[in-house]
Structure 1
Amino acid sequence: MKKPRPYARIRGMRANHLLAALAALLFAAAPARAEWSSCLSGLRAAAAGAGVGQQTIASATNGLAPNDAVSFMDKQPEFTTPVWDYVAGLVDEERVDEGRVLLHQHSRALHAAESRYGVDAPTIVAVWGVESDFGKSFGKRPVVQSLATLACEAPRRNDYWRKEFIAALKVLDHGDIAPEEFYGSWAGAFGHTQFMPSTFLGMAVDLDGDGRRNIASSAADSLGSTANYLRRSGWRAGMPWGFEVRLPEGYSGPSGRKGRQSMGFWQSRGVTRLDGGGLGEGTAALLLPAGRNGPAFLVTKNFDAVYAYNASESYALAICVLSDRLRGRPGIQTPWPTDDPGLSRAERRELQALLTRSGYDVGESDGVIGTKTKEAIADFQSRAGLQRNGRAGLKVLNALRGR
């Protein structure tokens, strides 16, 4: 009997190792599948107990598997991006120009929303622009699947995600949103102005009068629902959200969104409007989104109403500044405290095109700074002698331009 050749033994060992590894993976996956199945059964039972019809539950959850929603939990740009990058990408000339067109195009619905809820049209349209780029970016993940995944697998807030999952099934059960329309963000927000399901149940309105509250396919319903949300969050008709101010040299007084004081108090501290004029009446808080060396704002309760939509000061500021731009007012006048300003979407597309021309694979030049673009930027920064951080700023764009 011939002895097996050495390479045959090695090949056999590799095959055995591969089979063992595969068996281990399958063994490890079995408990995960069992946990998912058990959790999903519990969610179905909770939905039934909340009054959702069995047909809706079965249709929405039969064969449901988890998706990648959990991986996005700590990557929300409004909390992880420098404020000057965040605002630059959301309040650019493209969004301002399109918003002004839509103000006229949807003037009838906006007038109805403003008359009913007391929220001005530019603010409503600004929310629309920031939330979904005026309906062009709803999100591509099935809402029910994302919320089931988060309810069962998220490392925290499982009770919240469970509540939203049940609310999502109620939305389907009521027939306001068709299953084929029910797509949204990783967190389950959906529609033109990105409502969570529980928010939809409590705040959505049928502004177009067709018998359905459909923020997925009716811009009018979305605009009306947003106005209703802001009013319920404390919006006061006729009150400005706030305005940019100038601080006295060496200011060391109080600041913070919750530290509301009278305008007289701020005036006594040397705070003035940019043009040197008086601050007016009422109360406001001093907002310093980039510290005392950056832009400063006195913000009213209406800023807080916008903040309630998504608890981020960068987010609320972007909406409020965009609403000012839609009214024909200037944007932020004081420079941000950085030597590397953020880029508009047009500039981000240019950056991607220049990276592609330089031999990098960044995919489509769409202005979205994803993993491929960040990796390409980081490599280019190293080659160009710039700080390697993968950030799409003006320095790397100018370097790509050859300046």
Structure 2
Amino acid sequence: MHMLYPSLLRCTLLGTSLSLLTACADNHAASQVDTPTPVVQSATISLPTATVSTTSTATFEQPTQSFASWQAAFRQEALSAGIQAAVFDAAFAGVSPDPAIIRADRSQPEFTRPVWEYLDSAISATRVRRGQALLAEHASTLLAIEQRYGVDRHALVAIWGMESNFGQYMGDKSVIAALATLAYEGRRPAFAHEQLLAALRILQHGDVQPSRMRGSWAGAMGQTQFIPSTYNQFAVDFDGDGRRDIWDSSADALASAAHYLQKSGWQSGQPWGVEVTLPSGFDYALADAEIRKPISEWRQLGVNNIPAADDQARAVLLLPAGHRGPAFLVLDNFRAILKYNNSTAYGLAIGLLSGALESQPGVHAAWPRSDRQLDRSERIELQELLASKGYAPGAADGIIGANTRKAVRAFQQSLGQPADGYPSHELLQQLR
């Protein structure tokens, strides 16, 4: 989902594990794209893990008022906010709560998927070939976008592929019906409420008709999966037809994504990151999202295979599979990608896919493919065990955030192990 959409809603509940993996690339990669949209929140690097929703559902209280009563009250609010009555009535014609939206919203992610499997799917040979063909087909448009926004064409096409499989999987839900359902009886009504008003403003502006405003169950729209508020802020009419059309105009969709990345801090001519090797005895605790060092300092610490670059550019060391897997130094453009979708795995997928589109080699180091990922109940158990030993991992919610990783590092250090903060099955066994 491109921007401003809390990764959680963006696709099919990407997952509440180490980080919300965008199901966009994952599902879209294979034939169904998980669509996480760019998150307009600060990007914090999180451990990558993709999750698959199970059929389990949580219990939620049903609204006390009828949908008709809710809609009448919302109509008055929308009109007070400047939405024309005719626009509102046309948008809501035939709209009623969609049970499929509620099921998707309430499904609880349970099963985690390793980052390497996610990347295998995201950077498939089929996707790379299709992306290269589209780079050639849209060369003049992409050049013009690069010149205006300074964002690399390969990264844009990678996002295009991850978000909607190059426009083939944009979602088939009415955005108005989906957001109305979530605003009426969803778990995050305030956010859906805000996005619904934003969607009505899009219709009032005349960029799209209600019947064409379709997207994911969570309201992410178009070829680059913008949520409505992100669309209103960053969508552009690049093809000059008077409409910001991210559904049927690839030029508008790609330029809108470029505009968003530009405003998110994209640095023209700078790489997103690079795979590196670490020296023997390296302090793996330095692989922390809060530790940003100039390239020159990473060199001094013995980090190898860093290509010629601005030595003052600041980078974070990323170990997406712990010390036994590949290592990456990621720079500002990686952070900009995370603002599109706050998932480390998504950021890696965009970076590596953009490289593959340029025929660059893939990841050199081997992934620890024999590792078994912790499922949600095991992640909760890990947090509970860490807390019982005084390591303060935060709430036992199954989400491996900064506090849990710090607690894992502290426990690893107590055992004299590499303190990479990676919650492995072996670590859980040791805690048990």
Q: TM-score, normalised by structure 1?
A: 0.72
Aligned to 1:14: none
For residues 128 and 177 of structure 1, the distance between their equivalents in structure 2, rounded to whole angstroms, comes to 20
Aligned to 1:53: 84
Aligned to 1:159: 190
1:91 aligns with 2:123: yes
C-alpha deviation, 1:185, in angstroms: 0.7
Q: Is the 8 A contact 2:63 2:184 kept in 1?
A: no
Amino acid across the alignment from 1:170: R
Matches within 5 A, 1:30-179: 34-67=65-98, 68-73=100-105, 80-155=112-187, 157-179=188-210
Identity across aligned pairs (percent)?
Answer: 43
Amino acid across the alignment from 2:356: R
Structure 1 pair 153–101 and aligned structure 2 pair: CA distance change class (3 A)? same
Amino acid across the alignment from 1:184: G
C-alpha deviation, 1:124, in angstroms: 0.7
For residues 224 and 279 of structure 1, the distance between their equivalents in structure 2, rounded to whole angstroms, comes to 27
Aligned equivalent of 1:324, options 355, 360, 378? 355
How well do the aligned residues superpose, as a CA RMSD in angstroms?
Answer: 2.4
Structure 1 pair 96–341 and aligned structure 2 pair: CA distance change class (3 A)? farther
Structure 1 pair 84–75 and aligned structure 2 pair: CA distance change class (3 A)? farther
Aligned to 2:279: 248
1:189 aligns with 2:206: no
For residues 320 and 183 of structure 1, the distance between their equivalents in structure 2, rounded to whole angstroms, comes to 28
Unaligned runs of 5+ in 2: 1-61, 374-432
Q: Is the 8 A contact 1:243 1:298 kept in 2?
A: yes
Unaligned runs of 5+ in 1: 1-30, 343-403
C-alpha deviation, 1:319, in angstroms: 0.8
C-alpha deviation, 1:92, in angstroms: 0.7
Q: What are the superposed Cα offsets for residues 229-272 of structure 1, whole Å, 9 maximum, x if unpaired?
A: 10011101111111111122343231133421111221222211
Structure 1 pair 76–240 and aligned structure 2 pair: CA distance change class (3 A)? farther
For residues 70 and 80 of structure 1, the distance between their equivalents in structure 2, rounded to whole angstroms, comes to 22
For residues 71 and 328 of structure 2, the distance between their equivalents in structure 1, rounded to whole angstroms, comes to 47
Aligned to 2:231: 200
For residues 151 and 256 of structure 1, the distance between their equivalents in structure 2, rounded to whole angstroms, comes to 37
- Higher mean displacement: 48-57 or 128-137: 48-57
Structure 1 pair 292–46 and aligned structure 2 pair: CA distance change class (3 A)? farther
Structure 1 pair 279–246 and aligned structure 2 pair: CA distance change class (3 A)? farther
For residues 193 and 230 of structure 2, the distance between their equivalents in structure 1, rounded to whole angstroms, comes to 14
Q: What are the superposed Cα offsets for residues 27-76 of structure 1, whole Å, 9 maximum, x if unpaired?
A: xxxx8583433332332222222211111111111332112223334769
For residues 108 and 224 of structure 2, the distance between their equivalents in structure 1, rounded to whole angstroms, comes to 17
Structure 1 pair 76–53 and aligned structure 2 pair: CA distance change class (3 A)? farther
1:209 aligns with 2:209: no
The answer to which structure has the higher helix fraction is: 1
Q: Is the 8 A contact 1:99 1:125 kept in 2?
A: yes
Aligned to 1:396: none
1:238 aligns with 2:269: yes
Aligned to 2:304: 272
Q: Is the 8 A contact 1:272 1:279 kept in 2?
A: no
For residues 260 and 76 of structure 1, the distance between their equivalents in structure 2, rounded to whole angstroms, comes to 34
For residues 205 and 184 of structure 2, the distance between their equivalents in structure 1, rounded to whole angstroms, comes to 24
Match of 1:224, SS? helix
Q: Is the 8 A contact 1:138 1:183 kept in 2?
A: yes
C-alpha deviation, 1:164, in angstroms: 0.4
C-alpha deviation, 1:339, in angstroms: 2.4
Structure 1 pair 75–136 and aligned structure 2 pair: CA distance change class (3 A)? farther
Structure 1 pair 173–330 and aligned structure 2 pair: CA distance change class (3 A)? same
For residues 121 and 250 of structure 1, the distance between their equivalents in structure 2, rounded to whole angstroms, comes to 39
Q: Is the 8 A contact 1:287 1:296 kept in 2?
A: yes
Q: TM-score, normalised by structure 2?
A: 0.67
Amino acid across the alignment from 2:332: K
Aligned residues: 309
Structure 1 pair 85–72 and aligned structure 2 pair: CA distance change class (3 A)? farther
For residues 330 and 108 of structure 2, the distance between their equivalents in structure 1, rounded to whole angstroms, comes to 24
For residues 341 and 102 of structure 1, the distance between their equivalents in structure 2, rounded to whole angstroms, comes to 37
Q: Is the 8 A contact 1:109 1:223 kept in 2?
A: no
Match of 2:244, SS? coil
Q: Is the 8 A contact 2:90 2:210 kept in 1?
A: no
Larger Rg: 1
Match of 1:272, SS? coil
